[in-house]
Chain A
Amino acid sequence: MIANFLVDLLTALAVGMMFVALGELLLFRPCRNVSSAFESLVVGAGAAAALLFPLSLLAGPRALGLLLGMLVLALVTAVALRFGRWKRLEVDTVRRSIDWRDPLSVLLLCLIVAASICFALLNWRMAYLWDGFQIWASRAQMLFIEGRLAPERFPETLHVAAKIRYPPLISMYEALTTLVRGGGFDFDRFKPIFLVLFLGMVALTYEAGRRVAGSRSGLIAAALVALLPPLSMGSAAGGYADMPLAFFVAALTSAILADNENRRGFSATPWLMGALCMVKDEGLVLSAIAVMTTAGYWLMTASRVPVWARLRKNVAGIFIVAGMIVSRVAYLRWLDYQDSSFLELNRETFSIAMQKIPEVAAIGSRYVFDPKMWGLFWPAFLASTVIILFMRCDARVRAISLSVLLAAGAFFGIFLYTKWELALHIDQALPRLLAQIAPAAAVVMVAAYETAFDSRARTSVEAARSRA
C-alpha cells in the first residue's frame, strides 16, 4: 500500500513538473527555488486547464492525450533551455533564508513539517470524502474515459449532474496522473496530488509572509495555515478543491508582493488571477475581486503612475486574465446547465435576500469564531485589517487585506440566495469557503503584527528588505 502511494506520489510530482515546465516557459524564467517552482506549477496548471476546453472542442476525444503531449513537449523544452540559455537552478532559498539560530523559527519549521507529515498520513490512509469522490474524482474518471471535457452522455442518470459546470483543473490533474501512470482508471491511485498541492500552499504562504515581513513571519504565516483544520485535514485530505484553491490564493498573494522585486521574465500575477477561476466556482468570484482590487490600486496610485501608462504596460497581462475568464465563461455557456442551488438575481429575490442578512450573519459568525476550527484566526485577521488600514503600510498589503474582506463578504452573500436550508448550507460550505482565503489572511496578519510591533511603522516589503 505504501509502495503504491509512493509510486503515485512520484507520478503526481512528474505531472506537477510538467506544469512547472509550462509555467517556466510562459513566464520565460527558470525556477530559482521551491517557492518559484510552485508558482510556476500554478501558472502551468492554470494555463493547461484554460486550454483544455478549446482543445476539447477542436480535438474531441484526443484532447487529454494532446494536452499531455504538449506538457511533455514543454518539459523537454524547459529542460533544454535550462541547459542552454537559462542559468542552472540556484540553491533552495528556504534553506538560505531561515535563521537557524532563532529557536522560534526552528520550532515553527518543526510544526510545519509535523503538520505536513500528518497531512500525508491522512492523505494516504483516507479514501475520498463525499465531494472529493462524487464530484472531482468522478469528473476525472469522465475526463479520462471521454478524453475531453464533455457534457454527460445520459443527463437523466444525474451522474455528476450540475457539478459538470465545475472548473476542470483538479480533475484534469487527477486524469493526467492516471494517464501518465498507465493502466486503467483507479480511484485510489491519484490521491497524492493533494499532498503536492498542500506542500505548495504551505511553501507559497511562507514565501508571501517572508516577502512582507521577513522569514520568521513567513514561517508564522505558513504554520497558521498548515495547522488550520479546514486546510489540513478532513475535506482537504479527502479530495475537495478548497485547499487547492487556497494554494492558488497563496500563489497570487506571493506574486503580488513580489512584483516590485527585480525578477527576470514576465510577471506571474495575471496568470494567477486567471488561474483562480480554473479551480473552483468561487474562484471566478476571487478572480473578479482580484481584478477590481488591482483596478482600485491603479486608481489610488494614479498620481505616481498614470492609469493609461499602467494599462499600456500591462496590456499582455490584461489579455491573459481576460482569456482565462473567457475560457471559463465560454465553457459554462457551452454546457448551458443551470445550477438549481441558488435563486436567480432579480428585484424580488433581492428583497428576500436582504431579509436573510441577520440570520446569515448570526449563523455564519458561529462558524467564523469557532475556536476548535479556527483558533483565533479570524478575530486576529479582523484586528489586523484595522491595523493595516489605519497605520502606514505597504499599499499592496492594504489591497490584499481589503480583497480578503471583500471575498469573505461575497462568500457570506452567496448564502442569501441559497435554495438550501440555510443552516445546513452554511454548515456544509462556509468553513471551506473561508479556508480558501486563509493564506492571504495569514499574510495580512503577519504584516499587521510587524506594523504594530515595529516602532517606525514602516513595515512590510521595505522593512523586510532592509532587515534582509
Chain B
Amino acid sequence: MVRVSRRKAHASSGWQALSTPQRIVALCGSLVLAASVTSGVSAFRRELSVVFQFAHQQQVPPILDQQLHQVRQLAPEGSKFLWVNEVPEEWFSKLWQRLLYPDPVFILHGETQLANTLPALREQFDIRYAFSAGSSPLDPGYKWYIRMDPPPGAQGELWFGELRDAGVSAIASGTPEERTR
C-alpha cells in the first residue's frame, strides 16, 4: 500500500496522490462537513425567515409599557399584587411579575386555587391590587377594576383593580364597580 503524508499529497496533484485509505477518510470527512453545512444552512434559512416574519424584537411590547405606567399611577410603588389566571398561563403573568419587580406579584391559576389559597395569602401579605386574565376573568374580590387591552399574542381580557379589604368575602359583596380609563 502506498502511503503518502498529507503534506506531500497536497504538494503533488491532490486526489491522485492519495492512497485508497486516505481517499476513504477524505470522503468520510467531506461527507460529515457537507452534512453539517446542509443542516446548518437550511436551519439558518428557516430560523431567519420565521424570526423576521413573526418574532417580537422587544421583550416588553410597547403597549405593556403604557399599561405599566397606568398601573403605577393607580398602585403606588411598594404595593403587593395578585395575578389570577382563569386557566394556567406562564408567560404574560411572569412578564408582569418582572415588570413590577421588586414589588411582588403572587400568581394563582383557576377558581379552585383562588378559593383555597387567596384568603391565607391576603392574611399573610397585604395584597391590595389584582390582575385577572382570561376569556371571562375571575373576580378575586375587586372593589373596582379597569379593563386593559391584552398584549399582542395574548387572548381574552385583562382586568386590573383594587381589592376589597381582606375580611370582606368576594361573593357576599356583590358586583365590583367597573371604572373607565
Contact = CB atoms under 8 A, between A and B. Distances in A.
Interface stretch (A223-231, A399-407, A408-416): A223-231
B107 A157 contact: yes
B35 A126 contact: no
A454 B6 contact: yes
B6 A157 contact: no
A414 to B, nearest CB: 23
A452 B57 CA distance: 47
A159 B101 contact: yes
Given A156-B106, A227-B37, A380-B32, A234 B47 contact: yes
Given A118-B44, A224-B36, A372-B39, A128 B59 contact: yes
Nearest to B81: A157
B40 interface: yes
Contacts of B5: 454-456
A376 interface: yes
A455 B47 contact: no
A198 interface: no
Contact of B25 (A126, A137, A372, A449): A449
B65 to A, nearest CB: 11
A264 interface: no
Most B Cβ at <10 Å: residue of A141, A233, A374: A233
Nearest to B9: A453
Contacts of A77: none
Contacts of B39: 227, 229, 371-375
Contacts of A115: 40, 44
Contacts of A227: 36-37, 39-41
A57 interface: no
Nearest to A132: B59
B169 interface: no
Interface string B89-100: 000001001100
B59 A187 contact: yes
Contacts of B107: 157-158
Interface of B: 3-7, 19, 21-22, 25-26, 28-29, 31-33, 35-44, 47-48, 51-52, 55-60, 94, 97-98, 101-102, 104-107, 121, 124-125
